Each structure stands twice: as C-alpha cells, then as structure tokens.
Amino acid sequence: MGWEIYTSKIIFVSGSGELRDLFIINEDGSDKKQLTNTDFSVEWPSWSPSEPLLIFESGKDGNPEIYTINADTGEDLTRLTNNEKLDEWPCFSQDGSMIMWSHGVEGDKDLWVMNADGSNKRQLTQNIAVGDAFSSFLPDGSRVVFTSASEGQHPSICVIYLDGSGLKKIAEGSSANWSPNF
C-alpha cells in the first residue's frame, strides 16, 4: 500500500470505560477498520508523517507507555518505553525521525525525545514546571513548543531547542502546535 492512501484516513479511539481501541476510517465515514482488539485502553494516537505507522499511549502493562503499530495491518505492536513512570502524549517530528513525549509522575513530568525506533532516549526539560506536555516540533526539528503548568498557576507556552538549551516562555496558554511548512 502506498503512503498516499492515508491522506484521507482518520485514526481515532473508540470504546467504553477503560477499554478503548484504535480505528481507521475514511474521511467520508466508510471502510471502518479496527486496528487493535484489546483488553486495555489506548489514547492519543498520532500518524507518522513518513510511513504508515501510528504512535499512541496505552496502559496495556499497568501504566501508560508509548507504543507504535503498523497502520496497514494492525500488527507489529512495539513498546518503545518500559518503566514505572507515566509516559504520555507522544508525537512525531515532522519528518518522522523522532518522537517526543511527556515522562514522569503525576504532578512532575518532563519532556523526553527519542528516535522513531525507540533508541537514543534523552530528557529535554528538567524540573521547570509541573506537567510539561502537549508538545509539537518546529518543522525543521530544531525546537519544540509545549505547555508547562505549575500547580495553581496559569499554563504557559514555552519553546526549547532539542539540545535542552534556550528555554523561553512566550505566552500564557495551552495546547500550542507549530504550523507545518507551507
């Protein structure tokens, strides 16, 4: 299957309670395909921009971890994180080579990045605030924008270079997303 067929596909999560699965559907609502059939929950699915691969978080093994799955077949489920902390809100870089996610304990998370295959994990932010999350890569992959919020304070929009330097608060708000190159 060519990657171009996915330009009109939508990935979504559906289910009840804590049991939710991944589905793909055409933009007109036709050809609904279930990718996972689980006894656990999946959340925050996102497409790779470079191949038919999906990333998501799941509590499959007792706490949220980051996984990928083949969008063509629903096979090749790969666990990319494996620890007792929370790993949440994954996203791909715009070239599909890196993944960013939020890692830590409730009330104290930082951003981490890794290669798309799960190798070379490294911490990006360190103890700057509670709940670093909802991140997005700059199209050239050099910086990220994210939401940072301390208990009892307004959330902030921050940017930082991928080497961890240049942290800067740019606005109050949340859920920022860098625009793609047009």
Task: Name residue 79's amino acid.
Answer: R
pLDDT tens, residue by residue, 134-159: 788 888 888 988 888 776 778 888 89
| CA gap 123, 81 in Å, rounded | 13
Q: Which are the contacts of 119, defined by CB distance < 8 A and separation ≥ 6?
A: none
User: Would you say residue 7 has pLDDT above 80?
Assistant: no
| CA gap 11, 97 in Å, rounded | 20
User: Would you say residue 4 has pLDDT above 60?
Assistant: no
Q: Mean pLDDT, the chain, as a whole number?
A: 84
Question: Sorting pLDDT into bands at 50, 70 and 90, what band is 174?
Answer: confident
Q: Where are the domains of the chain?
A: 1-84, 104-182
Summarize the confidence of residues 155-168 as an average pLDDT.
Answer: 89
Summarize the confidence of residues 158-162 as an average pLDDT.
Answer: 90
User: Would you say residue 2 has pLDDT above 60?
Assistant: no
Helices (H), 49-122: none
| CA gap 131, 160 in Å, rounded | 15
Pick from 40-44, 91-95, 166-170: least confident: 40-44
Between the alpha carbon of residue 119 and those of residues 75, 101, 143, the distances in Å are 20, 14, 19
pLDDT tens, residue by residue, 67-111: 999 988 888 889 999 999 999 999 999 899 999 998 887 777 889
